[in-house]
Copies of this chain bind each other. A is one copy, B any other.
Amino acid sequence: VIAALGDLALDVANLDRPIAGVASLTTATGDHLTFAAGLKYQTALEQTGAGAVILPQVPELVALAEARQLSWVTVIDPRLAFARAIGLFYQPFRPEPGIHPTAIVHPRAKLGEGVSIAPFVTVYEDVVLEDGVCLLPQVSVYPGVTIGAETMVHAGVTIYPDTQIGKAVLIHANATIGADGLGFVQTGKGWEKMPQSGFVQIGNYVEIGANTTIDRPAVGVTSIGEGTKLDNLVHIGHGCTIGEHCLLCAQTGLAGGASLGDFVILAGQVGVVDGVSVASGTVASGRTVIRQTIKKGQPLGGDPAMPLSLWLKLAAKLKRLV
């Protein structure tokens, strides 16, 4: 196992132990590999039942592993090595290629090689599924959608017309891609619908969480950049532009026309107001509300958003007010 970590490994010891799986420090038993990311896990490492451990280059931890006669390996990034170790023991569910006889695939849909279509999938006209696409049960793909190679779409996902999805994208169950944005014009008598004629574009290697929604705009495109990861129950409003390698945690929402640069991290339940731009490298802590354009990537917190250090001071001060 440790050999398979390959170029990550810096130094190793006591490798004469069979490893049957991976586990956390607190639940591992003798044939498990675990990891300690730093000194704050020292106590847990003293008590772990694991037989093998991935460590950072921290002498105290290495000495402790030696003293406990554990197998160990040191690496630059223990979490990354542990991620790869999990992959040695676990293969996520992915059905074999083939089209289930119950699936309804329009004759004008175009399918690549090795496509897998599960029961009760509906694929409408002019859809393109590239090689190795995998659609789980109950997926609905409306007309004109393109899905790139090796992309996997879990059960119950609905993809509205003309959505363009890149390759090796992973979409979790019950997400909705390309539904109408909330576009209405107030007329005094109520709301007149502005037709949402645009489409959604999703880059390669994007991951979209369960029950997340990404809306189509009135005109133009709502786009999610390559490598960006969206958690569950996230809302991306119509006409938003999200850069590459962003990470948006659960229940975060972007109102219409908001834009994020690259490598933006929004923790859980963050809100971004309509039309606001957020600079690359911004990191917003949970529940931040970004109401104005952020020109420089930085840690943020609070409502309205302010530099995180300022918000932490303010939160402390407020408690003392009472």
Contact of A314 among B187, B207, B319 (CB under 8 A): B319
Complex Cα distance, B86 from A174, in Å, reads 29
Taken together as a complex, chains A and B put the C-alpha atoms of A158 and B138 apart, in Å, by: 10
Supposing A83-B192, A122-B118, A185-B77 touch, asked if A232 and B215 sit within 8 A by C-beta, the answer is: yes
Main secondary structure of the interface of A (DSSP, over half): loop
Whether the Cβ atoms of B227 and A191 lie closer than 8 Å is: yes
Give the residue name and chain of the B residue nearest to A28 (CB): B219
Chain B CB within 8 A of A179 CB: yes
Question: Which residues of A (280-322) have their CB < 8 Å from a CB of B?
Answer: 286-287, 289, 291, 303-304, 306, 310, 313-315, 317-319, 321-322
Q: Smallest CB–CB gap between A5 and chain B, Å?
A: 13
**What bracket does the count of chain A residues touching chain B fall in?**
35 or more
Name A192-206 residues within 8 Å CB distance of B.
192-197, 205
Please report the C-alpha to C-alpha distance between residue A197 and residue B84 in the assembled complex, in whole angstroms.
12
**Is A247 an interface residue, CB under 8 A from the partner?**
yes
When all copies of this chain in the complex are counted, the total is 3
Contact B271 A232 (CB under 8 A): no
A253 at the interface (CB under 8 A from B): yes
| Closest partner residue, chain B, to A86 (CB atom) | B195
1/0 per position for A210-222, CB-CB distance to B under 8 A? 1101010011100
Which residue of B is nearest A22, CB measured? B219
Q: Determine if A122 and B120 form an interchain contact, defined as CB atoms under 8 angstroms apart.
A: yes
Contact between B287 and A194, CB atoms less than 8 A apart = no
Between A and B, 14 residue pairs with Cβ closer than 8 Å are A23-B220, A83-B185, A86-B194, A86-B197, A154-B158, A156-B174, A174-B175, A179-B209, A179-B232, A213-B233, A235-B268, A237-B250, A250-B255, A287-B289
